Structure 1
Amino acid sequence: MALDPQLLEILACPDTHHAPLDYDAPAQTLTCTECGRVFEVRDDVPVLLLDEARPGPAERS
């Protein structure tokens, strides 16, 4: 089951910039269009916790 398109329209990065997220259905991830953080989708539920996100390219050292 994929995420509802209406839900995808309103989801945003939980960081202060609240940028839109790109959905990768095969990978089951949401990627922030601004900071690049990658959020997992588990059991069709987006996990939008900053502490659980993988860092984006700008955050990697």
Structure 2
Amino acid sequence: MSPISSDLLAVLRCPVTGSALVHEGEFLVSSVTDSTGDPVQYSIDEGIPVLLRPELLVAATEAGSDEHDGPAKK
């Protein structure tokens, strides 16, 4: 796992709660809980934070790449 730089971590925010993210093991975790009372966890893929809500990540992973890639813009 590649570490997340402190400069990048300083500017990243949780897209669900708007809170700062904390690097915990193989995840970035929101510093504020969501509406269910739990912190939101985001995976890190080859050093790149994947800031998709967990339920959206499952849907994006299950969809074929041609299903979620929009048409090319000119």
TM-score w.r.t. length of structure 1 = 0.71
Q: Percent identity over the alignment? A: 22
User: Is the helix fraction higher in 1 or 2?
Assistant: 2
Q: Whole-Å Cα distance in 1 between the matches of residues 22 and 57 of structure 2?
A: 17
Alpha-carbon offset, residue 52 of structure 1: 2.6
RMSD: 1.6
Which residue number in structure 2 is paired with residue 19 of structure 1? 19
Which residue number in structure 1 is paired with residue 44 of structure 2? 41
Alpha-carbon offset, residue 28 of structure 1: 1.4
**Higher radius of gyration, 1 or 2:** 2
Q: Whole-Å Cα distance in 1 between the matches of residues 18 and 41 of structure 2?
A: 14
Q: What is the aligned residue count?
A: 50
Q: Whole-Å Cα distance in 2 between the matches of residues 52 and 23 of structure 1?
A: 19
Q: Whole-Å Cα distance in 2 between the matches of residues 52 and 22 of structure 1?
A: 19
SS, match of residue 3 in structure 1: coil
Structure 1 portions without partners, runs of 5+: 54-61
- Residue identity in the other structure for 1:46: P
